[in-house]
Structure 1
Amino acid sequence: MKPGKIASQCAHAATGMYAELMQRSILRRWEQCGQAKIVVTCRNQQEMNNLKEAADSIGLPTFVVADAGRTQVLAGSKTVLAVGPGKLVVE
């Protein structure tokens, strides 16, 4: 994907996750702490699937963007995974 498409897909992930979390207190805490975001790259779909499974297994919220297929990728392609926010654990 070209840089603009990647940015658009990341925005879809962020707004999709936000919409899913609107009624949860974790969202308010995330907003109050600066709305931190971390971006990483996956080498392939399997790696993204593995990250989603790992996040799900420890109770982190996830949101997967499936592209509509109108521009650069095939319809239904999973392009971005949003993970979190989650509770901060300090040891």
Structure 2
Amino acid sequence: MKQTIVARRDLGMGAGKLAAQVAHASLSAVEDASDRARTRWQGEGQTKVVLGVDAEGELFELADAADAAGVPYAIVRDAGRTQLEPGTVTALAVGPARDDAVDRVTGDLPLY
């Protein structure tokens, strides 16, 4: 069981902003996961991997792939209080789910 969080590199987010967006994505997707998946993932150490893409459209393509595969996911839109304009899409979490299911969606992406 694992979760991947995909963040946009093209936005130039500072380290703190990136960390906050990754956390938002992770928690949102976990809230949408089934109780069984959430419990199993938590029991296995809550594996998370942060990956990167260079455009908003890539996040939506991955979200569509996760949806089609039945894998929980969450897209994050920034509130616009600090570095970004309100509504800027910053990150996508995929999972928690079985490793192979998550890898079918995000397995070809590079680390952030």
Query: Helix, strand or coil: the match of 2:37?
Result: helix
The aligned counterpart of 1:74 is 85
Alignment match, 2:53:
42
- Pick from 69, 73, 88 the counterpart of residue 62 of structure 1: 73
TM-score scaled to structure 2, two decimals? 0.72
Structure 2 counterpart of 1:72, which letter? Answer: Q
Which protein, 1 or 2, shows the higher relative CO under an 8 Å CA cutoff with sep ≥ 6?
Answer: 2
User: How many pairs were matched up?
Assistant: 88
* Aligned 8 A contact 2:25 2:92 in 1: yes
Q: What one-letter code is carried by the residue in structure 2 that aligns with 1:3?
A: A
Q: Which residue of 1 aligns with 2:15?
A: 3
Unaligned runs of 5+ in 2: 1-12, 101-112
Rounded Cα–Cα distance in structure 2 between residues aligned with 1:19 and 1:40 = 20
Distance 1:88 1:12, change over 3 A: closer
More strand by share: 2
Q: Does residue 15 of structure 1 match 2:27?
A: yes
Structure 1 unaligned regions, length at least 5: none
Q: What is the root-mean-square deviation in Å for CA atoms of aligned residues? A: 1.4
